[in-house]
Amino acid sequence: MKGQTQAVTAVMITGIMVGTLAAVYVWGTPLLEKRESQTQVEQIENDVIGLKEEIDSVSNAGENSGGEVTLRIQDGRVQVNEDENYIEVTSFSDTSRYPQGTWRLLDGNNLQGLSFASGSYGIVGQDSAGVVAVRSTGDSGRIRYRIEFRNLLDERFEGTQVEQVDLQASGSEESTEETTVSLVNQGSELDENGFELQTGEEVDQVRTLIEVSLQ
């Protein structure tokens, strides 16, 4: 009788252990995957903001200065858009803390003069030279990060002018998965009467040329 009791107890303990392990697997695995996905989103966000800050640094450091940042993307791409003057990083995630269908600023201030907002320029002292914006796309899980630099109207000194950090692709304009972005300051160029204000007035445009290479 005692042997039978011990056997039953052993079976019950084994059953409890199996059930517990099954529950941990069923409920724990999705939680771990969700946490891993959130970590990846945070990592990419930090990398993108770091790239924008590096562009700021290189643009302010003078001609021939340079730097590089690695974007740790597992599934996605990096694209340089010279026409709209931005670098866009696309990734995918099952979880997103970002709003769907609208752009939200992660770094920088004001939307004026950006490609996805109104106006053709911002104002020095009011608007940041560049921003980092993010947009999530519904059920596809796609997240788009955009580092964009706009024209800024400077009226602080004699002779109104517009300034811009001008992103220029060197080599391929697109890369997939993990990408190292190399930056080189190629100096500044002056386009006399090269920019038209909303009033119709033509003013000088000063562009700081930043060469962007994707590796």
Q: How many CB atoms lie within 10 A of CB 9?
A: 10
Half-sphere exposure of 164 (CA within 13 A, CB side): 25
Give pLDDT, residue 118: 92
What is the SS3 assignment for 39-103? HHHHHHHHHHHHHHHHHHHHHHCCCCCEEEEEECCCCEEEEEECCCCEEEEEEECCCCCCCECCC
- How far apart CA 92 and CA 176 sit, in angstroms, is 12
Task: Indicate the SS3 state at residue 129.
Answer: coil
Residue 170 sits in which domain range?
A: 2-214
Q: In a structure prediction context, what are the per-residue pLDDT tens digits for the chain, which is 215 residues long?
A: 555 555 556 556 665 665 555 444 444 445 454 565 677 889 999 999 999 999 999 999 999 999 999 999 988 999 999 999 999 999 998 777 888 889 999 999 999 999 999 999 999 999 999 999 999 986 678 999 999 999 999 988 777 899 999 999 999 999 999 999 999 999 999 999 999 998 999 999 999 999 999 99
Q: How many domains does the chain have?
A: 1
- The answer to whether the beta carbons of residues 143 and 93 sit under 8 Å apart is yes
- The answer to whether the beta carbons of residues 167 and 87 sit under 8 Å apart is yes
- How far apart CA 157 and CA 142 sit, in angstroms, is 44
pTM score, whole prediction: 0.82
Give pLDDT, residue 155: 83
Give pLDDT, residue 137: 83
171 DSSP assignment: S
Instruction: Point out which residues pair with 164 in neighbouring strands.
Output: 207
Tokens read off for 172 = 């391929």
- The answer to whether the beta carbons of residues 153 and 202 sit under 8 Å apart is no
Q: How many degrees, rounded to 5, is the angle at CA 161 between CA 146 and CA 55?
A: 30
Give pLDDT, residue 24: 42
Give pLDDT, residue 33: 46
Give pLDDT, residue 4: 55
Give pLDDT, residue 57: 98
Tokens read off for 87 = 């670098």
Which single residue is written with the structure tokens 């999705």? Answer: 30
Closest CA to 202 of 149, 165, 154, 160: 160
Give pLDDT, residue 133: 97
Q: How many CB atoms lie within 10 A of CB 63?
A: 11
Give pLDDT, residue 95: 74
